[in-house]
Structure 1
Amino acid sequence: MNQANVISDLIIWIEKNLEQPLSIDHVADKSGYSKWHLQRMFKKVTGQILGTYIRHRRLTHAALALRLTSKPILDIAMQYRFDSQQTFTRSFKKQFNDTPATYRRNEFWDPVGLTPPIELNKTQFRLPEPTFMDFPQQVFWGVTYKNNCSLNELLQHNAILRKQFFVDYLDKYFKNNAVLPNEVYSFSQIYKGKEHFDEQEVLYTIAIEDNNILDNAEKYISQGGLYLCFKYIGPPSDLVDFISQIYFAAIPMLKVKLRHGDTIEIHHNHSNLTSVSNLTEIPLVECDYCVPVIMKDDD
């Protein structure tokens, strides 16, 4: 097995074990190499230092937990293997320029410091240049779905819901013999779970601008505001990875902060769909993925 494959398999294992002991000795034992040889190999293949990478990934997960859950800070520190809240605070502030408590309380979310996982064997998207769009407040008509999930399941869970909801929604269209509009909107929001402090409540609304087609459609008001939009054209299976790179690679490089509001997906060009079964046959998805932001200068 070549070095890239060895390191790729090791990174996958690290990602699944961020809440377990991951000293260099632990990782070396897993790899079967001496810790000196493993560290040299990791740096050669990835360009990063193994211990630093593990710490940055743990702190990234901790940052997500601070913003997206109500889990106590000490519990988050222990979950990601920091020996005390003081040690956690010191490391966290070095990476994110804020203490964990301040990071959680801030009205706007500064993504600088979030570190993406290394994925050597996956296609690296060449993200398109984003565009800023100022959406007006607007009335839509649609169906809202709600579910709970854990932090680790969030992106994949959202993808499952997206597919399920589109099937349900399109089924209502076709039963009414309606022509699907060129643009279908989805609005999603994530809230901290009310029953379990380490869960999120996901609200996902599929909607259109016309109220004359769907039965039981409810009014949905999008509050609008400034959005950073990324164009995606590709297979449905790659959309989750595309979204992940938006948050972990693209947005931290820009002078923006995330604000509360709907994340908007605008799905285009559905004229070729004539039945729900066609949904599984779509070779390409074309959508604008739009994230609510403010400019840092406006903070």
Structure 2
Amino acid sequence: MALRLTARPILDIALQYRFDSQQTFTRAFKKQFSLTPALYRRSPDWSSYGMRPPLRLGEFTMPQHEFITLSNTPLIGVTQSYTCKLEEISDFRSQMRVQFWRDFLGNSPSIPPTLYGLHEPRPSLEKDDEQEVFYTTAVTPEMANGHLHNSHPIALEGGEYVMFTYEGLGTGLQEFILTVYGTCMPMLNLTRRKGLDIERFFPEDESRDQDTPIQLRCEYLIPIRR
């Protein structure tokens, strides 16, 4: 994760995991992932080959998932960003998702039937141990209806995706996403291609009046190459 999501020097990562040198780390890494750390970092694709799902005491049930092909989709949205350390990403992402959607929907007279959250992490250009996360809250153009301030057009790239479905409390969504990446992607031996992760929400009108955490249904789409 640190190789893909931060610009942290490879030697620092090696020392963090108790390797005595970068060379020792590189040999062990290549044996496990069939790539050197440098090539793994630079590759446009992110293969789950070599990843080991965490050990679980009980039986694991794979979340509902399917492979779909999306066509190019025009959207209207607002993009915001934040920076955080890799260890903070789950807490920050949960908090920012709530705040960004609250800001976004505060300007809408009604809740659209489908909402899109587009997620793109990049290594921070200022601090090598942090990442910058871009999160776009978006709707289809006909749903925007002129109510969204500072919005801009977005071209959602088509292609093949794996889609996992989550239903439950909003507070459980981030843990679900970690399970998708840490367990499901390796078990399915999938390769993530370059592109945005897509969160597709289907809110009910009364969800605006629900106490937090709200019940939600989310389709989580990851761009893949098979």
TM over 0.5, shorter chain:
yes
Q: What letter corresponds to residue 158 of structure 1 in structure 2?
A: R
Percent identity of paired positions between Structure 1 and Structure 2:
40
Residue 108 of structure 1 corresponds to 45
Partner Cα distance (2:94, 2:137) in 1: 13
Change in CA separation of 1:211 and 1:181 when aligned onto 2, cut-off 3 Å: closer
Partner Cα distance (1:192, 1:281) in 2: 30
Change in CA separation of 1:167 and 1:211 when aligned onto 2, cut-off 3 Å: closer
Query: Whose radius of gyration is greater, 1 or 2?
Result: 1
1:240-298: per-residue Cα shift (whole Å, max 9, x none)? 211111001111122421111110000013222345xx36252x210101111111xxx
More helix by share: 1
Structural mapping, 1:222-233, within 5 Å: 222-233=156-167
CA contact (8 A) 1:92 1:100 kept: yes
| 1:148 is the counterpart of 2:80 | no
Unpaired segments ≥5 residues, structure 2:
none
| 1:203 is the counterpart of 2:134 | yes
Residue 28 of structure 2 corresponds to 91
Partner Cα distance (1:118, 1:67) in 2: 23
Change in CA separation of 1:80 and 1:153 when aligned onto 2, cut-off 3 Å: same
SS for the counterpart of 1:272 is: helix
Partner Cα distance (2:103, 2:126) in 1: 27
| CA displacement at 1:215 relative to structure 2 | 3.1
| TM-score, normalised by the number of residues in structure 2 | 0.90
Aligned length: 223
| CA displacement at 1:147 relative to structure 2 | 0.6
1:143-171: per-residue Cα shift (whole Å, max 9, x none)? 11111011111222111111111111121
Partner Cα distance (1:195, 1:203) in 2: 15
| TM-score, normalised by the number of residues in structure 1 | 0.69
| CA displacement at 1:124 relative to structure 2 | 7.5
Structural mapping, 1:268-283, within 5 Å: 268-275=202-209, 278=210, 280=212, 282=214
Partner Cα distance (2:40, 2:172) in 1: 31
Structure 1 consecutive aligned stretches of length 4 or more whose deviation exceeds 6 Å: none
Partner Cα distance (1:73, 1:281) in 2: 39
1:183-222: per-residue Cα shift (whole Å, max 9, x none)? 1111010111010111111000111112313233221221
Higher relative contact order (CA 8 A, sep 6+): 2
Change in CA separation of 1:253 and 1:82 when aligned onto 2, cut-off 3 Å: same
SS for the counterpart of 2:223 is: strand
Change in CA separation of 1:188 and 1:95 when aligned onto 2, cut-off 3 Å: same
Unpaired segments ≥5 residues, structure 1:
1-63
SS for the counterpart of 1:230 is: strand
SS for the counterpart of 2:77 is: strand
CA contact (8 A) 2:111 2:203 kept: no
Change in CA separation of 1:116 and 1:254 when aligned onto 2, cut-off 3 Å: closer
More strand by share: 2
Partner Cα distance (1:73, 1:185) in 2: 35
| CA displacement at 1:118 relative to structure 2 | 4.5
CA contact (8 A) 2:6 2:130 kept: yes
Partner Cα distance (2:155, 2:47) in 1: 26
